[in-house]
A and B are shown apart, each in its own frame.
Chain A
């Protein structure tokens, strides 16, 4: 079993517990698996050593008092801990080309500054220590928690800790954001060579320019990217939806989703590869110079006005439907479903395989 499968299954089995409890447990087990992999174990072996999900879940559910799901005391405590909130603004005068933001629990937003000044604001972060410094051409923003673990959890509070970074309009070389719990929002108007965002529990939205590469990873959360021009794009989430719109990529787009839908719209690239497990994959107006590869075990594949020299569409239970822009030699196979495809003998190749689903492929305007 892979680490992601392990975490997804554990998450499902703990669904009766409060979200913060589940998120904390998932982080704990994820770390235990990562540490074993780092020591040289193969991923599957590392997961096996941690134990069976069923037993772990049973043990956790046995330990956690039932009252925890509706604990008034804790809710009050949480509200009190937010009563002494404070906001702080730090002006940054040094020059830098790289940005590194590391935080445990906070929403992070990167904005284009209105007045060309560079500053960072911390809101509702009273239970956190933060540091801001510029070193070796890099702006480092770090926060660490100081209060009790449950005091930071902001799922039920509108006043979540937040870090806002305002950057003067310029070309930056790299943006790295690494958070545990919290949403990340990189707004439009700023250009980076490389953007790298990694979140354990939180949604990520990115509209900034990433001329070199854009990599976004979230274990539990949605990812949405828009108006991006880049050479290489990688989007990965275990439990969440992925949506991409108006993308221009000279290289490859790689998408991995486990439990969630993938939607791509108005996109041009060299190759796009999408691996889904249980969600639907919907591509609208996607043109790949070379290859479109889409696989889903349980979801549907729906392509509308898409094209590539070669298409590989693979589904287990779901249906495959595609409307393509140019003629294709179609090779389609479904074990149990209906197959309706055009009989072209020229053009590129479209290879569609389904297990129980139907396959329907058509060529637009021909």
Chain B
């Protein structure tokens, strides 16, 4: 898959995983697993990128005697998900057009 496209998709996946409630790294990976397998280092990079883009807030809190990082979505992050939905409609239109050409050729 095109790297830029894949990168954009993964960003939205992570945003979707944290959009309902504040969550932590391992839970994000588990929640996404039925849909997409993501390695820890990929998740780390995406979270840092989303934080830099102010789509995610990160805070540390105590959990069972240790510190755990918690991630929550911002307004900008929610907006990004909406944008993705709109973009996707456009892509689907193009996809249908491209596939129809294929079928005609067959």
A positions within 8 Å CB-CB of B: 25, 27-29, 31-32, 34-36, 38-39, 50-51, 56, 59-60, 63, 102, 104, 144-145, 148-149, 178, 180, 198, 200
Are B59 and A63 closer than 8 Å at their CB atoms? no
Q: Do B51 and A145 have beta carbons less than 8 Å apart?
A: no
CB pair B39 A35 closer than 8 Å: no
User: A25–B44 contact, CB under 8 A?
Assistant: yes
Sample (5) of A-B pairs whose CB atoms are under 8 Å apart = A35-B26, A102-B62, A104-B60, A148-B52, A178-B65
Query: When the two chains form their complex, are residues A178 and B67 in contact, meaning their CB atoms are under 8 A apart?
Result: yes
Whole-angstrom distance between the Cβ of B32 and the nearest chain A Cβ: 14
Assess whether A144 is in contact with B41, with CB atoms less than 8 Å apart.
Answer: no
Of the candidates A35, A50, A178, A200, which one forms a contact with B24 in the assembled complex, judged by CB atoms under 8 Å apart?
A: A35
Contacts of A25 in B (CB 8 A): 44
Q: Are A60's CB and B67's CB within 8 A?
A: no
Identify which of A28, A59, A180 contacts B25 (C-beta below 8 A): A28
| Contact residues of A: prevailing secondary structure | helix
**How distant is the Cα of A38 from the Cα of B40 in the complex, in angstroms?**
17
Binding site for A on B (CB under 8 A): 24-27, 29, 39-42, 44-45, 48, 51-52, 58-62, 64-69
Q: Is the CB of A35 within 8 A of B25?
A: yes
Residues in chain B near residue A32, CB distance under 8 A: 25-26, 29, 40
Q: Which residue of A lies closest to B42 (CB)?
A: A59
Residues of A near B60 (CB, < 8 A) are 104, 144-145, 180
Cβ-defined contact, B44 with A28, below 8 A: yes
Tell whether, in the assembled complex, residue A104 and residue B67 are in contact, meaning their CB atoms are under 8 Å apart.
yes
With A51-B39, A200-B67 already in contact, 5 other A-B pairs whose C-beta atoms are closer than 8 Å = A27-B69, A31-B69, A36-B26, A144-B61, A180-B60
Instruction: Knowing A104-B67, A180-B67, say if A50 contacts B59 (CB, 8 Å).
Output: no
> B40, B42, B52 — which one has the most chain A CB atoms within 10 A of its CB?
B40
* Shortest distance between the CB of A119 and any CB in chain B (Å): 24
The residue in chain B whose Cβ has the minimal distance to the Cβ of A49 is B40
- B24 adjacent to A31 (CB under 8 Å): yes
Q: How far is the CA of A34 from the CA of B44 in the complex (A)?
A: 16
Distance between A6 CB and nearest chain B CB, rounded to angstroms: 12
CB atoms of B39 and A59 under 8 A apart: yes
Residues from chain A with Cβ under 8 Å of B44 in the complex: 25, 28
Query: A104 to chain B: which residues have CB within 8 Å?
Result: 60, 67
**Nearest A-chain residue to B58, judged by Cβ:** A149
The chain A residue sitting closest to B41, CB to CB, is A59
Query: Provided the pairs A144-B59, A145-B59 are in contact, do residues A198 and B26 lie with their beta carbons within 8 angstroms?
Result: no
A123–B67 Cα distance when bound, in Å, is: 22
Complex Cα distance, B66 from A35, in Å, reads: 10
Look across to chain A and name the residue whose beta carbon is closest to the beta carbon of B52.
A148
Smallest distance from the beta carbon of A324 to chain B beta carbons, Å? 40
